Amino acid sequence: MQFIDRVKIKVKAGDGGKGMSSFRREKYVPFGGPSGGDGGKGGDIVFMVDEGKSTLLDLRYNRKVVAPNGVNGKTKKMHGAVGEDAVIKVPLGTIVKDAETGRILADLTRKNQRAIICKGGKGGRGNFRFKTSKNTAPTYAEKGGLGEVKDVEVELKVLADVGLVGYPSVGKSTLLSVVSAAKPEIADYHFTTIQPNLGMVQVPDGRSFVMADLPGLIDGAAQGKGLGHQFLRHIERCRVIIHVVDMGAQDGRDPVQDYANINKELEEYQYRLLERPQVVVANKMDLDDAEANLARFKEAYPDVEIYPTMTALDEGLEPIIYKAADLLEVTPVFPLYDEEEKSEGVLYKYEGDKPPFKVHNLGNGRWKLTGEEIETAFAMATLDTDEGQQRFARKMRVLGVDSALREAGAADGDTIELAEFEFEFVE
């Protein structure tokens, strides 16, 4: 199966259904009057965790998801049906971001967790809703509101408790295959692991945890070289790191320098990777130069506890999994955003009441109105009748559009843009 861990898609919630304008006219019913029902709400775009999925492959071939619209209102005050939500099933560990701002919209880390990413438009009100003592027979009915539209980046970050890091071909895949039932590809060449492999590790004392064999790092990975960020983003959720060092130095590298280089890449990447506790493994101790290199390593890093192993021969691995299990019991979960980012609006920040509109001077007597409230009011307004036009004009006055345009310098005859339409400003 092809492993897809990042994809960009466009999502659109359903529009609300139109309100109905109708009148009850039945024989022997003395009080008729307006009877148009409301339109139904548009469907939401919902992301939902599906534990049966392990990749975002489905979204690679479905780059646009649109929820159904609400149904129009009907006669006899009957409401239109609500549009069904469009549910997008994604693997556990998926993050949904706004592609334009980078803001995290949802972090899906729990079984069956759901998150509404785009809200459906409100249903328009039928003419029954506008009946008053002064207007007993209104003909006006609202159109439905528009559903939200967003370009989102969907990213899978593997949910593992322990992550294996190190240069390519240091024995990470072999270690995973020995301590779990996982069967990663193992071969005598670099980058045999090009996608994360997960395995459940059973500790002899009954504890268990999930271990991830991740693509190998190279120098400059934090800047995106090699598999770069494709590797590093999967270790973001790991609470413990097992750092595998090739003491045999088969590729001519220096194990002492390798350890420093990998830690440098972890430090330069975001999300405080170097703060996670490490279990340092000296692998391939059966090779000729391993003992001498291990002695140099201990001299260079006297404070680092190191575990000599021969993963290919299944020797020295039990103390490693015990140590990892012990560290997991005392290591908290590391958030994917810090408090400073939270305060800057990266994740669900309360931003206060937004102004209903903003006035932009385009020059040469042209002005543009923008804002969620005014654009929603315009989208739901029915402007093909005198009553509808009068209602919209009153709405604009209530919002203070007229006075705001005058204060900004708009003059009689200037052109006002709203959504994709133009109006003439009249004093």
Residue 214 backbone dihedrals phi, psi, to 5 degrees: -110, 155
User: Do residues 154 and 9 lie in contact, with contact meaning Cβ atoms separated by under 8 Å?
Assistant: yes
358-424 belongs to which homologous superfamily?
Answer: GTP-binding protein OBG, C-terminal domain (3.30.300.350)
Q: CA-to-CA distance for 426 and 317, rounded, in angstroms? A: 82
Question: Does 191 count as an annotated binding residue?
Answer: yes
Question: Does 35 count as an annotated binding residue?
Answer: no
Unique residue bearing structure tokens 């489905």: 58
* This prediction's pTM: 0.69
First to last CA, the chain: 66
Question: Does 374 count as an annotated binding residue?
Answer: no
Chain centroid to CA 103: 8
Question: Does 311 count as an annotated binding residue?
Answer: yes
- Provide the pLDDT for residue 308: 92
Question: Does 91 count as an annotated binding residue?
Answer: no
Question: Does 192 count as an annotated binding residue?
Answer: yes
- Provide the pLDDT for residue 350: 46
Question: Does 171 count as an annotated binding residue?
Answer: yes
Question: Does 310 count as an annotated binding residue?
Answer: yes
Delimiting residues of CATH 2.70.210.12 domain(s) in the chain: 1-157
- Provide the pLDDT for residue 216: 58
Delimiting residues of CATH 3.40.50.300 domain(s) in the chain: 162-335
Q: Is 335 left (phi over 0), alpha (psi -120 to 50) or beta?
A: beta
Pairing of strands 6-12, 64-66: parallel
Pairing of strands 162-165, 197-202: unpaired
Delimiting residues of CATH 3.30.300.350 domain(s) in the chain: 358-424
Question: Does 177 count as an annotated binding residue?
Answer: no
> Six-digit token pair at 148?
């939200």
| CATH number for region 1-157 | 2.70.210.12
Q: Which fold has domain 162-335?
A: Rossmann fold (3.40.50)
**3-state secondary structure at position 116:** strand
Question: Does 195 count as an annotated binding residue?
Answer: yes
Question: Does 216 count as an annotated binding residue?
Answer: yes
Question: Does 166 count as an annotated binding residue?
Answer: yes
Question: Does 194 count as an annotated binding residue?
Answer: yes
Pairing of strands 104-108, 94-98: antiparallel
Nearest to 264 by CA among 298, 236, 223: 223
Question: Does 28 count as an annotated binding residue?
Answer: no
Question: Does 136 count as an annotated binding residue?
Answer: no
Q: Which DSSP string corresponds to 71-113?
A: PPP-STTPPPPPPPPEEEEE-TTEEEEETTT--EEEEE-STT-
Instruction: Give mean pLDDT in consecutive 10-residue pieces for the chain, a chain of 427 residues.
Output: 71 94 80 87 94 81 92 91 94 88 86 92 91 86 91 84 85 84 48 62 88 65 43 75 87 86 81 84 88 92 91 86 92 64 43 75 88 85 82 86 87 86 81
What's the one-letter identity of residue 247? M
Q: CA-to-CA distance for 243 and 45, rounded, in angstroms? A: 41
Biggest CA pair distance of the chain? 105
Question: Does 398 count as an annotated binding residue?
Answer: no
Pairing of strands 366-370, 358-363: antiparallel
- Provide the pLDDT for residue 363: 86
Q: CA-to-CA distance for 212 and 83, rounded, in angstroms? A: 41
